[in-house]
A = this chain, B = another copy of it.
Amino acid sequence: MIFLDACKGKETPYTPVWMMRQAGRYLPEYMKVREKAGNFLNLCHSPELAAEVTLQPVEIVGVDAAILFSDILVVPNEMGMKLDFIKGEGPVFENPIKNEKDIESLLDPATSAKNLTYVYNTIKLVKKRLDPSKTFIGFSGAPWTLATYMIEGQGTKTYNVVKKMLYKNPELLHKLLQKVTDAVKFYLEEQIRSGVDVVQIFDSWAAALEKSAYFEFSWNYIKEICSYLKSKYPDTPIIVFPKGIGAYLNDIDGDFDVFGVDWSTPMSLAKEKLGNRYVLQGNMEPCRLYSKESTKEAVLEIADIMNNERHIFNLGHGILPDVPVENAKYFIDLVHNVTKK
């Protein structure tokens, strides 16, 4: 598999490419399935439908890897937190975590990971149907990103609830982070057992933290998950994606294979700081997909910097719902053509 080889830093005939949120609202075929499901959470809970949308971008857009269709918040949901997706507002937890008692009343990590059977069933269905030349990526949110949702109860601009806990009561936050970390370990382990070839850890809210807090409250837990998985599944590549920490790269280390570069971190900087130690994934600014000319400009520039070595092409964040499918296909084809040896 070209994608798997690239994850391991081996030479490949071209640079493989996928897009974050590639199974999503820009695809009319996705919208159809989502309507059938009724709502977003139902779609995550229905292995047959989730498998269908997981496979769509491979067939329609021609990406080199499928990524499991699910949501990062299924983990806290199965730890016992009631979750709703409210139109126009996004995900909302009815009873956010406030104190030690709330943390203790969460289901234990092993049981909550076991309860995510619908995810493992989706994986088994996809695995059966996916073209064997394509790679299958599983994923989880990073503990910091998950804990932030669990404490804020919903999306936030200022992160002031979770940060108040962080600066006033750091031990309490660590207690929650450890419990979530354990759940994520078991969850990703079970995804690997169910058939994914690679796992990616999304730390979408990494940029909410100043440097010292980031390493203490987020990166250390990501590293713990990587070490755990590597000790049991050394051949399964791990991709990490801490979004927006381009100014912190000097201190990045850990037992993973691929570092996902977001668009706010120049690829040349990431290569300079991390390119010797990790394969890099990324990082076209997703809004460039609005224009083929802008897409071409970035693809050529990134391909030139990376020189088809130790690189997986991707966007620097998720594809937006109003991007024309035609432009997404243009991006994928262009990457394949430009990087062909």
Q: Point out residues on A near B: beta carbons under 8 Å.
A: 158-160, 163-164, 166-168, 207, 210-211, 213, 244, 246-248, 263-266, 269, 285, 287-288, 290-291, 294, 316, 320, 322
Nearest-neighbour CB distance to chain B for A92, whole angstroms, equals: 16
Please give the count of copies of this chain that the complex contains.
2
Residues on the B chain within 8 Å of A263, using CB: 210
The distance in angstroms between the C-alpha atoms of A163 and B213, with both chains bound, is 31
From A163, A211, A244, A287, residue with most partner B Cβ within 10 Å: A287
Nearest first, the 4 A-B pairs at minimum CB distance are A246-B247, A163-B287, A167-B294, A210-B285
Question: Residue of B at shortest CB range from A294?
Answer: B167
Out of B164, B247, B266, B290, which one reaches A168, CB within 8 Å? B290
Determine how close the nearest CB of chain B comes to the CB of A24; give it in whole angstroms. 13
Which residues of B lie under 8 Å from residue A264 when comparing CB positions? 207, 210-211, 244, 247
User: Measured between alpha carbons, how far is A316 from B211 in the docked complex, in Å?
Assistant: 12
Give chain B residues whose Cβ lies under 8 Å from the Cβ of A290. 163-164, 167-168
- Tell me the nearest residue of chain B to A207, going by C-beta: B264
A265 — which chain B residues lie within 8 A by C-beta?
247
